[in-house]
């Protein structure tokens, strides 16, 4: 039994080396499939990051009436923070708003001179609200659009940006749906291509399988080397794919850091999820090659 196991390992190495072109071809196809799956992983990370970045840009400003008292403002702030959807609320008093306003129009002497003409600070305090998801803004706005607050709140910017927010929501959900669809599509294509590659590889060996059976080899003795080969091909292809992906991600990160203002976004994602990514990819490739070779070989092992 033990010597049988060693013989099976010996045969699998022999077959890999003596059928080098077929082995290289099989590993190449596995690598190509793994690369396309990894490309989708990159696309998913980038869309998630873009969606998050876009969502971050959206907030709702509540402009208070300059006459509103601190108590009234505090009441609204407490009320708003009580919503579980609210991620953050930032308050600026009249002076801060005025200073910010002047700062943002520092290059516009017309605006500044007209402000000087007024002499006093015409701007009221402002509350900037960020929710976890853009679609929650409606809820906050509705809650604040009650008669009691009409005198306190002068304006809400949300009214103007609502359509924009809705559109961004639609776009981001669709982009994510599309990446999921692409992932499934690529997975199916990868499955079919790997299955067929293995089937062709087994097909070219069908006479050998028949001869081995005629000489009195058990099915286990015939199938064993293919299982070991599947194992080796999976290790080699996942290993090489990792090296390629790691190299390309480092390269891509240089460009991405400019867009998202984050360094090593993709490389970090890979290293943080290394065990699960490599583990899942190896598991799937190994299982797929074993199942494919088992199915392809079944008919040649019958008699």
Binding residues for other proteins, rule: CB under 8 A, are: 1, 3-4, 7, 14-15, 18-19, 207-208, 210-218, 221, 303
Dihedrals phi, psi of 146, to nearest 5 degrees: -115, 155
173-192 burial, b for 16+ CB within 10 Å, e for fewer?
eeeeeebeeeeeeeeeebee
Can you give the length of the chain in residues?
A: 303
The distance of closest approach from Cβ of residue 188 to other proteins in the complex, given in angstroms and rounded to an integer, is 34
The distance of closest approach from Cβ of residue 27 to other proteins in the complex, given in angstroms and rounded to an integer, is 18
In the bound state with other proteins, the residue whose beta carbon lies nearer, of 2 and 255, is: 2
DSSP letter for each residue of 147-188: GGGTTTEEEETHHHHHHHHHHHHHHHHHHHHHHHHHHHHHHH
Q: Which residues pair with 127 in a beta bridge?
A: 62, 91
In the bound state with other proteins, the residue whose beta carbon lies nearer, of 10 and 139, is: 10
Which residues contact residue 213 at a Cβ distance below 8 angstroms, ignoring those fewer than 6 apart?
222, 301, 303
d(CA 41, CA 124): 47
The distance of closest approach from Cβ of residue 218 to other proteins in the complex, given in angstroms and rounded to an integer, is 5
Sheet hosting strand 153-156, strand order edge to edge: 86-92, 126-131, 60-64, 153-156
End-to-end CA distance of the chain: 23
In the bound state with other proteins, the residue whose beta carbon lies nearer, of 74 and 218, is: 218
The distance of closest approach from Cβ of residue 220 to other proteins in the complex, given in angstroms and rounded to an integer, is 10
In the bound state with other proteins, the residue whose beta carbon lies nearer, of 156 and 212, is: 212
In the bound state with other proteins, the residue whose beta carbon lies nearer, of 7 and 167, is: 7
In the bound state with other proteins, the residue whose beta carbon lies nearer, of 1 and 70, is: 1
The distance of closest approach from Cβ of residue 226 to other proteins in the complex, given in angstroms and rounded to an integer, is 14
The distance of closest approach from Cβ of residue 242 to other proteins in the complex, given in angstroms and rounded to an integer, is 31
Helix (H, G, I), strand (E, B) or coil at 128: strand
């Amino acid at each position: 039994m033990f010597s049988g196991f060693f013989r099976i390992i010996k045969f699998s190495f022999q077959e890999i080396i003596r059928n080098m072109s077929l082995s290289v071809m099989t590993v190449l196809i596995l690598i190509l499939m793994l690369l396309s799956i990894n490309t989708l992983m990159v696309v998913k990370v980038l869309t998630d990051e873009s969606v998050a970045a876009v969502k971050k840009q959206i907030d709702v400003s509540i402009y208070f009436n300059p006459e509103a008292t601190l108590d009234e403002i505090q009441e609204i702030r407490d009320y708003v923070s009580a919503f579980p959807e609210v991620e953050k609320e930032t308050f600026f008093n009249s002076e801060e708003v005025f200073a910010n306003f002047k700062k943002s129009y520092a290059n516009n002497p017309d605006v500044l001179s007209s402000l000087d003409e007024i002499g006093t600070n015409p701007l009221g305090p402002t509350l900037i609200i960020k929710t976890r998801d853009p679609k929650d803004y409606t809820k906050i706005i509705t809650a604040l659009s009650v008669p009691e607050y009409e005198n306190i709140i002068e304006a809400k910017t949300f009214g103007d940006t609502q359509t924009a927010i809705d559109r961004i929501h639609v776009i981001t959900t669709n982009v994510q749906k599309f990446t999921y669809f692409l992932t499934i599509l690529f997975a199916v294509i990868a499955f079919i291509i790997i299955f067929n590659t293995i089937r062709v590889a087994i097909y070219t060996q069908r006479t050998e399988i028949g001869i081995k059976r005629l000489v009195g080899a058990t099915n286990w003795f015939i199938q064993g080397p293919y299982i070991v080969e599947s194992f080796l091909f999976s290790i080699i292809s996942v290993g090489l794919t990792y090296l390629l992906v790691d190299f390309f991600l480092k390269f891509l990160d240089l460009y991405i850091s400019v867009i998202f203002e984050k360094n090593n976004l993709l490389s970090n994602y890979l290293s943080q999820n290394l065990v699960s990514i490599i583990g899942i990819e190896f598991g799937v490739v190994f299982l797929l090659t074993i199942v494919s070779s088992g199915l392809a070989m079944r008919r040649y092992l019958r008699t």
